[in-house]
Amino acid sequence: MAREKPVRYSSEQLEDFTDNFTTVLGSGGFGVVFKGVLPINGVNLAVKLLNKNWDKRVEEQFMAEVGTFGRTYHINLVRLYGFCFDPSMRALVYEYMENGSLDKILFDESREIEWEKLHDIAVQTAKGLAYLHEECERKIIHYDIKPGNVLLDKNLNPKVADFGLAKLCNREGSQATLVADGRGTPGYAAQEMWKPYPVTHKCDVYSFGILLFETGKETTFRRKFKRIATMV
């Protein structure tokens, strides 16, 4: 299933998959994510139901996700199984990631993770980005790399997700024209993304660097905190 092209589902099918959208996994600025199950084989799904006020940005996100995910297959990218483009519903159907997003581990003091595993997560995330930038037929710039967009499976293997801001650019050219519309997340976005400058794939590298910094910072803080608590 993971190697098939995205399938178009009806709104009735998604209501069936999600038990009428009962279990919420999370939410964001563009919509709510529900847990679902594919009846034919019992595969778990994550169904992102986009907001019904389908303004230009929501439509752009939908088209960016389908347009980029439909071109990719890599072990460190979340797989898009399908989508819904009905008059009453816009939705995206992804593979289900059991451990949620990386930020829930980094910023939750009650959850522990070994330094070696964090290193492995960083390396695998970098491999996913390298695939987008160097191995696709057309280069894909993600534009929103951050811990919240790195999801973890049951074995804590990472996969880059949320391609709603992504853009394709030709391999012959290294730049993509980007309007200064506040694209990206403050604190993670490179400065040029907030100004009317040409933007390259290096903006993803900058954001990945911030992700690495936060990973190391949080781990160091926890180790110091545990040592202090032990002394007390």
Of 144, 162, 181, 204, which residue is the catalytic one? Answer: 144
Per the CB < 8 A criterion, the answer to whether 154 and 98 are in contact is yes
User: How far is residue 92's CA from residue 217's CA, in Å, rounded to a whole number?
Assistant: 34
The verdict on whether 162 is a catalytic residue reads no
Sign of CA dihedral 193, 196, 200, 202: negative
CA dihedral 101→105→110→111, nearest 10 degrees, is: 100
Residues with Cβ within 8 Å of 59's Cβ and at least 6 positions away in sequence, in order, are 90
Does the annotation flag 48 for ligand binding? yes
Residue in the block written with tokens 């280069």: 139
Strands 7-8 and 80-86: what pairing? Answer: parallel
Residue type, 106: L
Annotated binding site: 48
- For the annotated catalytic residues, the residue numbers are 144
Annotated binding site for ATP: 48
